[in-house]
Amino acid sequence: MRIAVVGMGVIGKRLAAAIALQPDMTLTGVAVRSVGVGVLAHRQLPFHADTPEAAAELREFGIEPAGDLDDLLANADLVIDAGQGGTGAGRFPRYQRTGLISVFCGGETDPRLGPMVHPALNYARAIGSRSIRLPSCNTTALGRLIAAAGPSDVGEVEAAVLRCVTDTDKADKGITNGTTFDIRASHHGRDLEAMVEGVRVRVRAAGVPSICGHVALVQLRLRRPEAETVAQRIARTRRVAILAPDQRHDTGQIKAHVYRTTARGDRYELAVQLAVDDAQTITAWIALDNEAITVPEAVDVMRASAGGTAADQVRDITDAALLRPSIHSTEAMEDCVA
């Protein structure tokens, strides 16, 4: 499958790297509107200029564009759009004209861009759809936890998300020394309810100055008194690393652990600290790498959209290429204590 990537920001550059690792995918090129860190650090990639200004800027930095966006789309089977949030709808008509399957990252809100798909929750919606939206990082993480628990066993989910809001490209989302908060429900609950029927999800969010990933306190209320069984199931689920329940943890330690073991410090696994409160209630702290956690599910969805592959098989291929369980597995993260 030939893949075109649009955008070389936080998500785009990670997608480009992930696609290059997949045995059944080829990175056709990356379309950009400007030259940033991701472009300059990966100058060898075939960059396509989305605008004449972008072409001039690429040349200014000694990078000859491989073509424009139309050239890129003409040589691809699927386009994954990792452009700035909320801008995908403007490019959608161009994708439609080419007949390509389009996948939009980052929780685009416009329903005309297709159904929102989390492959562990509503895999079937990816089959046959010509355009698909992927959930945001927190929705991906919460969805992973609900899927791990077993959606049919979960009745209600309440979560408080602590977003780190002062990272490289998010400095304008938060404040330097303080927490922003809002009692109104965030989009995560609505997005999850659209993907998993019969589960009530309420999420509220706050923003804290940090660069070490998002954290959420999640309470799962189960339909039946089998919390111990569900907790064990969560611990056995792929892409989940269980943190010791009897320790204090911090996201700095987790980030440092990942920096010690990977070149860019990307963590695809969801770190989870579990507590069984009573027979029908599980509480979990989850810690996610907001810049990387959506990548495995994005690769799943791209592969699923081609059709003909079962969900588990799709995830097996992704994980074999992308995840190194020996590094960020439950056992390996035992040193992530405060």
Partner 1 sequence: MTELYLAGRWPLADVLAECTRRRDVRLATGDPTGRPCLRHGTDDVAVLLPDGAALADAVLAAALASIGRCLTPGPAAVLGTVLRPASGLCGPARNGPVDAVRTGYVTRLDGQPLTFRAACRVLDVQHTRCWVANLSFTGTGRSAFAPGGEVTVLPPVIARDTARTSQYMLDCGEGFHWRSVVLAGPPVSEEDGGVTTLALFTEAHYVHALLDAWLRPAAPEPAARGVGA
Binding to partner 1 by residue 185, rule CB under 8 A? Answer: no
CA angle at 37 for the pair 34 and 41, rounded to the nearest 5°: 115
Contact 92, 113 (CB under 8 A): yes
Residue span binding partner 1 (CB under 8 A) among the ranges 22-30, 34-42, 278-286, 309-317: 34-42
Directed axis angle between helix 137-149 and helix 187-195, to 10°?
50
Q: Output the CA torsion 158→178→138→186 (10° steps).
A: 60
Is 265 a binding residue for partner 1 by CB under 8 A? The answer is yes
Kindly indicate which of the ranges 88-96, 107-115, 253-261, 314-322 contains the residues binding partner 1, using the contact rule CB under 8 A. 253-261
Name which of residues 85 to 104 contact partner 1 (CB under 8 A): none
Binding test (CB under 8 A) with partner 1, winner from 1, 252, 321, 329: 252
To partner 1, the closest distance from the beta carbon of 207 in angstroms equals 16
Instruction: Print the binding letters for residues 161-180 with partner 1: x by CB under 8 A, - otherwise.
Output: ------xx--x----xx---
Site map 42..81 versus partner 1, x via CB under 8 A: x------------------x--------------------
Residue 126 CB, nearest distance to partner 1 (Å)? 29
> Does residue 256 bind partner 1 (CB under 8 A)?
yes
Structure letter (DSSP) for residue 297:
H
Name beta bridge partners: 48: 31, 67
At 112, which helix (H) or strand (E)? Answer: none
Q: Which is nearer to partner 1, 225 or 259 (CB)?
A: 259
- Bridge partners, residue 139, by sequence: none
* Rounded-to-integer distance, Cα 207 and Cα 49, Å: 34
Rule CB under 8 A: say whether 212 interacts with partner 1.
yes
Please say whether the dihedral angle defined by the alpha carbons of residues 53, 54, 57 and 59, taken in this order, is positive or negative. negative
